[in-house]
Amino acid sequence: MWSTARFLRCGSLTWSRSSRALAQGSEPALNFSDGRVFRLKSRWEVVRGLLIFRLCSVPTLVKNSEKLLSVSRRLLGRRLFEWGMRVSVYGQFVAGETLPEIRDCMERLARLGIRPMLAVPIEEDLGEGKSGERWYEQNEEIMLSCVDLSSAGGDRPMMQLKITALMSADLCKVLSVLLSDPSHRAELSPQKVVSIMEGQVSSQKPPLGLCSHLAVTFFGFSLGPYNPSLFQDSAFPFLTNQQNLHLQTSVRRLSRVGKRAKAKCVRVLVDAEYTYMNPALSLVTMAMMAQCNSDEPWIWNTYQCYLKDSYKNLNQDLDSAHNLGVCFGVKLVRGAYMEKERRLAKEKGHGDPIHPDWSATNKSYQRSLDKMLDLIGQEGKRYNLIIASHNEESVLHAAHRMAVLGIARCAGAVCFGQLLGMCDHVSLTLGQAGYLVYKSIPYGSVDSVLPYLVRRAQENQSVLQGIRKERDLLRQELSRRLLRRS
């Protein structure tokens, strides 16, 4: 990962005067059907958006996108393939790879009244043990660089974090199973994890050779015997020595990222992932909150409202935050893993964890949204919320509730978020009206980001098929420009 020094010397980004002026005025009427906001885009951005959205609305193409990309790479060769991606899909949804590219993307958004929320597209699923501790250590350096990049992104910078970039998905599943047992849940507490983060448990560090051996053993390889006496004070007796060692190194990596973010005034939004590992992710996220959120919510957790347990989980974590005496930040999403979650539940003979229909999911989302807005109306500094949604009704409902509760659009306690390259008619309208709105911005090389984009496209097929309105608005804007030129 590159150095951030030259980028940081460029100074913080500045936000459009029109957005700041509107933020001080009376509540504007939000109109997401006014295609005039696309006049802020270049002609190429309009044309590219139309083409990409047309392709993304074909389910067969999205479902087979990985195979199609693989064939295209072989036929075109690496150089021509990468050029094609950069001017199309990659260019639509990714900030870039180099510092100048990322900075240019952030500055273009700033001129539109939109803030960046950088996201490194690194994650791990079960059985994908990459290359031992070295892989996670490299990812820590990348995440720390992301903190530094984000800190130069203007007012109230944010970034996203995948726990499984720094901690094994296999261990997350083991911990999640243990958390379902009351006898283990009592011991697997945020306070205990904090004590591990701060080196108060099993602080004795094994020799380097043994560390390497244990890391490799944990990911399925055996290189011979180890000395168990070094780990007799392991944090949790129901975990193996290897699991305890990896847990300790992982949560300390997360602790270092959280502390760097707080020092740089960057809010870290921890992503939710699959249900079989989410309890463990919430545990370590709450521990990061206990470390960093004494004065403001620097560490936030994500709640997937398409899950039947989402509202219950939100309330449990609110109680935990209250008991710990810490501030609480929430990223509220509907969810993106529906097909896989339902398939796994069927294979395992478990009940479907997802609400039965779209209407039930919407009710779940609004219930959690109203809960958080009510709390923010009472204590806006203690509680923060980002409404990460492409749903216009949810955004309009939130804007109305903010006005009723007297929550200022520009104060920062409530903000909105969408994906880069999607739902721009909502993002641009919000930004120009003075609301705080962020774009989730992945960055990295073409090879590293494309697998992430393929997964997101396949997980969000319902969203991609529902972009007809944005496509129509882009078509209207293109027609307007062509007629004007004629």
CATH topology of domain 15-169+267-485: TIM Barrel (3.20.20)
Q: Identify the band that residue 234 occupies on the pLDDT scale cut at 50, 70 and 90.
A: low
Tell me what pLDDT residue 165 has: 93
Provide mean pLDDT across the span 195-201.
Answer: 83
- Classify the phi-psi angles of 357: left when phi > 0, otherwise alpha if psi is within -120 to 50, otherwise beta: beta
The model's pLDDT over 282-324, given as tens digits with 9 standing for 90+, comes to: 999 999 999 999 999 999 999 999 999 999 999 999 999 999 9
The model's pLDDT over 245-259, given as tens digits with 9 standing for 90+, comes to: 999 999 999 999 999
Opening angle at CA 472, ends 470 and 478, nearest 5: 105
Tell me, rounded to whole angstroms, the distance of Cα 169 from its chain centroid: 16
Opening angle at CA 123, ends 136 and 387, nearest 5: 125
Tell me what pLDDT residue 40 has: 74
Between CA 456 and CA 89 the distance in angstroms is 13
Tell me what pLDDT residue 27 has: 53
Tell me what pLDDT residue 62 has: 81
Asked whether residue 84 carries a pLDDT value surpassing 50, the answer given is yes
Q: Identify the band that residue 231 occupies on the pLDDT scale cut at 50, 70 and 90.
A: very low
Would you say 193 and 301 are in contact if contact means Cβ atoms under 8 Å apart?
no
Between CA 376 and CA 378 the distance in angstroms is 5
Would you say 477 and 48 are in contact if contact means Cβ atoms under 8 Å apart?
no
Least confident of 35-49, 50-64, 81-95, 461-475: 461-475
Q: What tokens does 326 get? A: 């810490």
Residues 6+ apart with CB under 8 A from 92: 48, 49, 52, 421
Q: Which residue has better confidence, 316 or 340?
A: 316
Asked whether residue 444 carries a pLDDT value surpassing 60, the answer given is yes
Opening angle at CA 235, ends 229 and 239, nearest 5: 85
Asked whether residue 475 carries a pLDDT value surpassing 50, the answer given is yes
On average, the pLDDT of the chain sits at 84
Q: Which residue has better confidence, 241 or 126?
A: 241
Between CA 402 and CA 405 the distance in angstroms is 5
Q: What tokens does 384 get? A: 């923060």
What is the model's pTM?
A: 0.85
Question: What are the start-end ranges of the H helices in 12-123?
Answer: 17-24, 43-56, 59-63, 65-76, 78-86, 89-93, 99-111
Between CA 413 and CA 421 the distance in angstroms is 25
The model's pLDDT over 267-283, given as tens digits with 9 standing for 90+, comes to: 999 999 899 999 999 99
Residues 6+ apart with CB under 8 A from 104: 96
Tell me what pLDDT residue 315 has: 97
Question: Domain residues of the chain, as ranges?
Answer: 15-169+267-485
DSSP annotation of 350 reads P
Provide mean pLDDT across the span 386-398.
Answer: 95
Between CA 448 and CA 440 the distance in angstroms is 17
Tell me what pLDDT residue 220 has: 37
Would you say 372 and 332 are in contact if contact means Cβ atoms under 8 Å apart?
yes
